[in-house]
Amino acid sequence: MEIKVRNFGDVLMSRPTGREDFLKAKAYVFKEIETGEIVVLDFDKVKVLAPSWADEFITGIQQDYGSEVQCINTENPSVKASLRTVMG
């Protein structure tokens, strides 16, 4: 499953917002996700990504669905640094 992260905004900053966005995605986007399915997060056109938002969203996917998370379009320095912090 591929998710366009830009649909949640282009400035993704706080832990509460990341949690809220994950819960929205859980209710509307992830309804068809299979347990263990690979989830691809597309960061195209995301201007700012904070590690706290990424942690809430990505960890939520991994914990609730047991899914591997892959990221694409991560050239933005903010996105790159935040993902390095969260995903290692």
Among residues 43, 51, 50, 53, which one has the least CA distance to residue 76? 43
The tokens for 84 are 């390095």
CA distance 33 to 74: 23
Range of the domain at 16: 2-87
Number of domains present in the structure of the chain: 1
Could you read off the pLDDT tens digit of each residue along the chain, which spans 88 residues? 999 999 999 999 999 999 999 999 999 988 878 878 899 999 999 999 999 999 999 999 999 988 899 999 999 999 999 999 999 8
Directed axis angle between helix 15-28 and helix 51-65, to 10°? 40
86 touches 50 (CB < 8 A): no
Output the pTM of the full model.
0.92
